[in-house]
Structure 1
Amino acid sequence: MASQPRRGGVSLPERRAAKSDSNGSIISKLSGSPIVSRGRQAASDAVLVTRKLLKSTGKAAWIAGTTFLILVVPLIIEMDREQQMNELELQQASLLGTPPQPQK
């Protein structure tokens, strides 16, 4: 009974389903192809490598920044103090009238 056509109305669900299946099958064939699968895998691998690279770059930047703050900044401050002390000594010597001593 289900296979008998109806009288009185035009209904073609078989053709509509076949048409949508043909479109779906092309998309499913393309999405299931080995080229697309390899492309997706390559993109996934690229994302993974990029994340690891960014993470390691961030760690390296953190290490470099903290090392600079701990070792280099105090050295710069100390060198600036030394230069200011030398200039102060030169000013005091010139005010007192003694000849300036040659710099080492």
Structure 2
Amino acid sequence: MASPARKGGVSLPERRGHSKKENNSIISKLSQSKLVSRGKLAAGDAAFVTKKLLRSTGRAAWIAGTTFLILVVPLIIEMDREQQLNELELQQASLLGTPAMGPPPQK
């Protein structure tokens, strides 16, 4: 007699001459070996470490990006503004005929 069907699925009858306890195929022996179980464990550990590394790298990138936006971008804007002001003063001085203020003479 076949085993009772599980809820939501169909149970197939077992093959003749093969019971679940007598599964001696090469694939089943190989999948139950210590080498395969250690490989699965190592792959799981590698996936865990990779996930943690990616998460921490993402956090570091977020911190670096926001720090750059908060501290460096305003500095760049202010330096550009200062450069434009210096060029404007130099242009006005040349139009009015006053000598341009250059760098101080070196001794």
4+ residue segments displaced more than 6 Å: none
How much identity, in percent, do the aligned residues show?
71
Q: Deviation per CA, 1:8-53, whole angstroms, max 9, x where unpaired?
A: xxxxx43xx38x9442xx2221111110000000000000000000
Aligned-residue offset at 1:59: 0.1
Aligned position for 1:58: 58
- Looking at structure 2, the residues matched to 22 and 60 of structure 1 have their Cα atoms a distance apart, in angstroms, of 51
- Residue correspondences, number: 87
Q: Which has the higher helix share?
A: 1
Shift of 1:100: 0.3
Structure 1 unpaired stretches of 5+ = 1-12
Q: Which residue of 1 aligns with 2:40?
A: 40
Q: Which amino acid aligns with 2:100?
A: P
Name the counterpart of 1:74: 74
Matched with 2:12 is: none
Structure 2 portions without partners, runs of 5+: 1-15
Matched residue, 1:86: 86
1:43 and 1:60 map into 2 onto residues whose CA distance is 25
CA apart distance, 1:102: 1.6
Structure 1 letter corresponding to 2:68:
F
Question: Counterpart of 1:98 in 2: which secondary structure?
Answer: coil
- Structure 2: how far apart are the matches of 1:100 and 1:44? 71
